[in-house]
Chains A and B, each alone.
Chain A
Amino acid sequence: MTIEQTRPDTRRFTGKAMPRKEDARLLKAQGEFGDDTPVANLAYMAFVRSPYAHARIVDIDVSAAEKVDGYLGCLLPDEVAELTDPYAELQGPPGDAEVDRCLAAGGKVRFSGEPVVAVAATSREAARDAAAAVVVDYEPLPHVVDTRKAVEPDAPLVHDQVGCNVAFESTFDWGDIDFALENADHVIEVDELHFHRFSSTPLECTAITAEYDAGTDTFTFTGGFATPQLATLNLAGALRHPTNKLRVLSKDIGGSFGIKLNTHIPATAAALLARKLGRPIRWTETRTESHQMGGHGNERWFRNVKMALQSDGTVLGLSYEALDDVGAYTRYEPLGAVIWTQVANACYQLKHLRVHYRSVYTNKCPTHPNRGYSRTQHLWLVERMMDIAAHKLGFDPVEFRMKNYIQPDQYPYTTVNGCVYDSGNLPESLRKALELIDYEEARQLQRAAAGTGKRIGIGIGSTLDSGTNNFGQARLLNPHLPFGGNSEAALVRLGIDGAVYATTGAVAFGQGHETTISQVVADELGVSYDDVHVQRGSDSGLSAQMGLSGSYASQFAVTGIGAMLNATRKLAAEIKQVAAAVLGVKPEEIELADGKARVVGDAEKALPLSDVAGIVHFSPASLPREVAENVGLVGRAVYSAPFDLPDLERKYGNLTLTYATQIHACVVEIDEETGQTTLLRYAMVDDCGTPINPMVIEGQVHGATAHGISAALFEDMAYDENGQLRAGNFYDYHAATAFDLPSFRYANVVSPSPFTPIGAKGMGEGGGAPLQAISAAIQDAVGDSAAVLDSFNPPERVLRLLRGLNAEKVKVIR
């Protein structure tokens, strides 16, 4: 695959830490988030939610709500069943028998916090009062919260009509792991490891405004929709309303991290009420609601894990069984069952891999694609096993990783399942990370700590951030799904005054798209950074979107920027046509620089872009007819990533275009008396190819690092045995504050991607390296007398580790 790439050093703005265009309005409290927009005649929606994990709805009595001052109306499950169709399910039988609607479906609630009734009122307070006055009579049913119990034959069924709790099941088998396990010098077995539930919990909870215009029979939705066209499809199906009469808008969004990919569900309820009551409806989720049903990351159990390796430290492969807890409904799921295969090899030269994977229903909050979606879990498992193997067999943890990493001269590297890792330099990244934590000195510190009541541990995390996914992988889940490849669109135009206007199909929630788009467009058109105006937010009504448009799966730097470059080139061609006609030369003799279209080699002969715009917009008669008829000064283009459909039989093919890498290293101190883990040093080395804005990239790496550290030490969306969420607010769910985190040590490596328009790779999700690095550091601190087999290690677990937790679950077979 060869593609034309512009050399980054010839560009004026691309690759520089340009100040962000978004900042001024946000710093001056002039942003416009979902709950900010004033709307006339606005009514507010509140949900009545199930207090039970699993129950039959016996009766609903809204008579007391009707008496609340300001009450406008409500929406009941029966009404929803009558007015809507269930959301489409991705999986085939038997999981496709699941019925999912915006309110509890089929006369049952399936998780604590599930919406049962939606109530609307004239104020926020009245809506809450009215919701509180609704009386729902429940008959509690047996529930299941532990994934392992959910797959047992006698487990309570989350969806009766599915007939079991397994929504999807598949075996992925590449290479010959049986042969490897039989013949390898060493085999390590671990009974069970657990990757816990957590969520990126965007600080802005979901806020939606639904408006219904009876005159045009059109719904307009404003709020945090990360994939506007997919949301439109889902809303159209559910509301039985034509897509051309649905419009999905966003302005500023206060974080998403994948969590806001299922906003269409509460939006459906808001739409029904807006139409019924003839008023715009706003729903502003509370923090507790967000934790109850805003979406959690995938919890996963890894069982019967086996790793085969040689006495020289070469890892051959591994096998395991995965029980993935998707919660009560498969919303974006069970895509996670195939998404992890993007990084099947993790960072290593594995030859054999077998995974038996089950997506399992439980009576818990449905999972959403949380930052690092489904790859983080597999990457953590592989790195944990690497670390355990090094400890158990006495390999140096650094040398062992260095040896098994995919080496710089092996790129492009084809994995066991046909994915192509584009570029990277993992050994160099690890060397840099170790330098940043002063590795040798940290080892001395560790020795010196012996007997002081403190333990020092050093840990490494090796991750991939696979970006720009091939939606063809959805067919591995269900061959009937009509997806393949991936594309994004962009629209660039020259306004009446010569200013450049750019609109992307992507959706920004903090990544600085307005900034990076301005950088590449300004370079392409030879105008100044300030001359490019990027539309804030997104609008499904504009032709800047494709079906798969949006922000997810670390792809903007490739798909969003690729589309923008293609669109800008179309606009540039039109500008050149006009200038050539006016200046009496051929279009290929025109170059764009310094805000002008000028003749190559004759700088005197030039036309400012404002003149080009003026002629086209106001005096087309001055142009030759063939130019006037063809030129609109608009470039609209797509970027389509070069993918084929995967081989469904072998589950083989390239599933992702780029692989950014992040190598982390840390030094922790553990207090033997309290189990408290303190981060003494934390370093991360990122490689996402040719940078567009290094400042923005570093910021994304910081953010992903904070999420990972916080998840590893503080955040746990745990449920008690009654199926009640234990972490329904920021007291019980501690998102790390500045006081909990160290200053970061950051460096980067640049391995340009040979497959993308400017050598950049998608990044931002990060791959969860801190979960790995902290697990490894705690293991290093407690030594071989215990085994770190959980991704969550709060003080109480660390204390148990200090007393030998789980040592027996790890076996060296030979």
Chain B
Amino acid sequence: MTTNDTREITVTVDGRRETGVVSDRTLLVHWLRDALDKRGPKIGCDTGNCGACTVRWNGTLVKSCMVLAVQVDGDEIETAASLAEEDGTLSRLQQCFADHHALQCGYCTSGMLMTAADLLASGEEITEHSVRRALKGHVCRCTGYHNIVKAIRAAAGQEVPPPHGSEPREAEVR
């Protein structure tokens, strides 16, 4: 059976207070996307496997397709739209994604960035293995992950080879 009960929620999304009336069954990802036009969280599956909808809920990473909008009433949500600097400049992590060609169609990217930012902030040792393990709840069907792993390691300050065809001078700057 379904319910059409609605209630009002107030949520801080990417630093802004947002109020909305949602049905009890509305998924957080749908509220963020449909009511607020937040394009960071994407839907790539119905089962919590693909990670494209990953956001931060009160500082903790969560797949927003696995959360009801009513659950976050009074809380704080951060989407990938909050990652860039206020003037629109890419963050170091985002810049590393661009430098290392860590995105193609860009559909999984917001989710990848959320998890990568969380990993980098966690203090965990960044290795090829730890990055791959951290990304295991995400699916990308374009990149084969190789460049995503490189970009995250570069963002952690590690030396990684520049993309194929880069000029040596550019590589040093990177």
Chain A interface (Cβ < 8 Å from any Cβ of B)? 15-17, 19-20, 22-33, 35-36, 38, 69, 123-125, 129, 200-205, 252-255, 257, 284, 286-288, 509-512, 691, 693-700, 702-707, 729-731, 735, 737-739, 741, 743-744, 746, 748
Partner of A255 from the list B94, B107, B131 (CB cut-off 8 Å) is: B107
Instruction: Provide the bound-state CA to CA distance between A395 and B137, in Å.
Output: 44
Docked-complex contact A738 and B136, CB < 8 angstroms: yes
Interface size of B by Cβ–Cβ distance < 8 Å?
A: 68
Q: In the complex where A694-B163, A735-B139 touch, is A702 in contact with B147 (Cβ < 8 A)?
A: yes
Instruction: Provide the bound-state CA to CA distance between A17 and B170, in Å.
Output: 10
Q: In the complex where A17-B164, A252-B105, A702-B147 touch, is A730 in contact with B138 (Cβ < 8 A)?
A: no
Docked-complex contact B25 and A125, CB < 8 angstroms: yes
12 A–B contacts, CB within 8 A, in A order = A17-B170, A28-B80, A29-B79, A694-B163, A695-B165, A700-B104, A703-B141, A705-B144, A729-B45, A730-B45, A731-B47, A741-B145
Docked-complex contact A511 and B104, CB < 8 angstroms: yes
Q: Which residues of A contact B110 (CB under 8 A)?
A: 29
Instruction: Provide the bound-state CA to CA distance between A31 and B147, in Å.
Output: 20
Q: Which residues of B contact A69 (CB under 8 A)?
A: 4
Nearest-CB residue, chain B, relative to A255 = B105
Q: Which residues of A contact B47 (CB under 8 A)?
A: 287, 729-731
Docked-complex contact B106 and A252, CB < 8 angstroms: yes
Nearest-CB residue, chain B, relative to A129 = B2
Q: Which residues of chain B from 123 to 174 have a CB within 8 Å of any chain A CB?
A: 128, 131-133, 135-149, 162-167, 170
Docked-complex contact B39 and A24, CB < 8 angstroms: no
Partner of A203 from the list B23, B133, B141 (CB cut-off 8 Å) is: B141
Docked-complex contact A35 and B97, CB < 8 angstroms: no
Q: Which residues of chain B from 69 to 104 have a CB within 8 Å of any chain A CB?
A: 79-81, 83-84, 88, 90, 94, 97-99, 101, 103-104
For residue A277, give the distance in angstroms from its CB to the closest CB of chain B.
19
The verdict on B108 contacting chain A, using a C-beta distance below 8 Å, is yes
Q: Which residues of A contact B50 (CB under 8 A)?
A: 203, 287, 730
Docked-complex contact B144 and A204, CB < 8 angstroms: no
Per DSSP, chain B at the interface is loop
Q: Which residues of A contact B164 (CB under 8 A)?
A: 17, 694-695, 697-698, 746, 748
For residue A702, give the distance in angstroms from its CB to the closest CB of chain B.
4
Nearest-CB residue, chain B, relative to A707 = B141
Instruction: Provide the bound-state CA to CA distance between A734 and B146, in Å.
Output: 18
Instruction: Provide the bound-state CA to CA distance between A741 and B30, in Å.
Output: 31
Q: Which residues of B contact A203 (CB under 8 A)?
A: 42, 44, 50, 52, 105, 107-108, 139-142
Instruction: Provide the bound-state CA to CA distance between A76 and B80, in Å.
Output: 41
Docked-complex contact B79 and A254, CB < 8 angstroms: no
Q: In the complex where A698-B163, A737-B135, A748-B164 touch, is A204 in contact with B145 (Cβ < 8 A)?
A: no
The verdict on B33 contacting chain A, using a C-beta distance below 8 Å, is yes
Docked-complex contact A744 and B107, CB < 8 angstroms: no
Q: Which residues of B contact A24 (CB under 8 A)?
A: 90, 98
For residue A96, give the distance in angstroms from its CB to the closest CB of chain B.
35
- Other than the known A32-B39, A204-B44, what 5 A-B pairs have Cβ atoms closer than 8 Å? A16-B165, A27-B84, A29-B110, A203-B44, A255-B105
Instruction: Provide the bound-state CA to CA distance between A204 and B140, in Å.
Output: 10
The verdict on B113 contacting chain A, using a C-beta distance below 8 Å, is yes
Instruction: Provide the bound-state CA to CA distance between A698 and B46, in Å.
Output: 31
Nearest-CB residue, chain A, relative to B79 = A29
Q: Residue among A31, A35, A704, A731 with the most chain B CB within 10 A?
A: A31
Instruction: Provide the bound-state CA to CA distance between A197 and B107, in Å.
Output: 25
Chain B interface (Cβ < 8 Å from any Cβ of A)? 2, 4, 23, 25-26, 30, 33-34, 37-40, 42-47, 49-50, 52, 79-81, 83-84, 88, 90, 94, 97-99, 101, 103-110, 113, 128, 131-133, 135-149, 162-167, 170
Q: Which residues of A contact B166 (CB under 8 A)?
A: 17, 695
Partner of B90 from the list A28, A38, A254, A702 (CB cut-off 8 Å) is: A28
Q: In the complex where A16-B167, A20-B101, A129-B2 touch, is A706 in contact with B143 (Cβ < 8 A)?
A: yes
CB < 8 Å A-B pair total? 207
Q: Which residues of A contact B108 (CB under 8 A)?
A: 203
Instruction: Provide the bound-state CA to CA distance between A29 and B41, in Å.
Output: 8
Docked-complex contact A696 and B98, CB < 8 angstroms: no
Docked-complex contact A124 and B30, CB < 8 angstroms: yes
Q: Which residues of B contact A125 (CB under 8 A)?
A: 2, 23, 25-26
For residue B38, give the distance in angstroms from its CB to the closest CB of chain A.
7
Instruction: Provide the bound-state CA to CA distance between A20 and B99, in Å.
Output: 9
In the A-B complex, the 9 residue pairs with the closest CB atoms: A694-B165, A26-B106, A510-B105, A254-B107, A706-B144, A510-B104, A730-B49, A702-B144, A29-B40
Partner of B101 from the list A25, A35, A252, A698 (CB cut-off 8 Å) is: A698
Q: Which residues of A contact B131 (CB under 8 A)?
A: 738
Q: Which residues of A contact B30 (CB under 8 A)?
A: 124
Instruction: Provide the bound-state CA to CA distance between A694 and B101, in Å.
Output: 11
Docked-complex contact A27 and B141, CB < 8 angstroms: no
Instruction: Provide the bound-state CA to CA distance between A739 and B136, in Å.
Output: 5
Docked-complex contact B133 and A739, CB < 8 angstroms: yes
Q: In the complex where A23-B103, A511-B104, A730-B50 touch, is A738 in contact with B148 (Cβ < 8 A)?
A: yes
Partner of A28 from the list B81, B105, B132, B139 (CB cut-off 8 Å) is: B81
Docked-complex contact A703 and B149, CB < 8 angstroms: no
Docked-complex contact B46 and A253, CB < 8 angstroms: no
Q: Which residues of A contact B45 (CB under 8 A)?
A: 287, 729-730
Instruction: Provide the bound-state CA to CA distance between A36 and B26, in Å.
Output: 17
Q: Which residues of B contact A31 (CB under 8 A)?
A: 39, 106
Q: In the complex where A35-B33, A288-B46, A735-B139 touch, is A27 in contact with B163 (Cβ < 8 A)?
A: no
Q: Which residues of A contact B4 (CB under 8 A)?
A: 69
Q: Which residues of B contact A288 (CB under 8 A)?
A: 46
For residue B50, give the distance in angstroms from its CB to the closest CB of chain A.
6
For residue A316, give the distance in angstroms from its CB to the closest CB of chain B.
37
Q: Residue among A691, A737, A744 with the most chain B CB within 10 A?
A: A737
For residue A396, give the distance in angstroms from its CB to the closest CB of chain B.
30
For residue A697, give the distance in angstroms from its CB to the closest CB of chain B.
7
Q: Which residues of A contact B104 (CB under 8 A)?
A: 255, 510-512, 699-700, 703
Nearest-CB residue, chain A, relative to B133 = A739
For residue B32, give the distance in angstroms from its CB to the closest CB of chain A.
11
Nearest-CB residue, chain A, relative to B167 = A16
Docked-complex contact A737 and B136, CB < 8 angstroms: yes
For residue B16, give the distance in angstroms from its CB to the closest CB of chain A.
15
Instruction: Provide the bound-state CA to CA distance between A62 and B168, in Å.
Output: 66
Docked-complex contact B105 and A254, CB < 8 angstroms: yes
Nearest-CB residue, chain A, relative to B165 = A694
Docked-complex contact B101 and A696, CB < 8 angstroms: yes
Q: Which residues of B contact A746 (CB under 8 A)?
A: 164
Q: Which residues of B contact A255 (CB under 8 A)?
A: 104-105, 107, 141-142
Nearest-CB residue, chain B, relative to A254 = B107
Q: Which residues of B contact A16 (CB under 8 A)?
A: 165, 167
Docked-complex contact B44 and A20, CB < 8 angstroms: no
Docked-complex contact B37 and A731, CB < 8 angstroms: no
Q: Residue among A16, A38, A204, A511 with the most chain B CB within 10 A?
A: A204
Q: Which residues of A contact B105 (CB under 8 A)?
A: 202-204, 252-255, 509-510
Q: In the complex where A124-B30, A731-B47 touch, is A739 in contact with B167 (Cβ < 8 A)?
A: no
For residue B79, give the distance in angstroms from its CB to the closest CB of chain A.
7
Q: Which residues of A contact B139 (CB under 8 A)?
A: 203, 730, 735, 737
Q: Which residues of B contact A32 (CB under 8 A)?
A: 39
Q: Residue among B42, B47, B99, B105 with the most chain A CB within 10 A?
A: B105
Nearest-CB residue, chain B, relative to A684 = B144
Docked-complex contact B84 and A28, CB < 8 angstroms: yes
Q: Which residues of B contact A15 (CB under 8 A)?
A: 165
Instruction: Provide the bound-state CA to CA distance between A3 and B172, in Å.
Output: 38
For residue A12, give the distance in angstroms from its CB to the closest CB of chain B.
12
Instruction: Provide the bound-state CA to CA distance between A129 and B4, in Å.
Output: 11
Docked-complex contact B132 and A739, CB < 8 angstroms: yes
Q: Residue among A123, A203, A511, A746 with the most chain B CB within 10 A?
A: A203
Docked-complex contact B109 and A738, CB < 8 angstroms: no
Docked-complex contact A743 and B42, CB < 8 angstroms: no
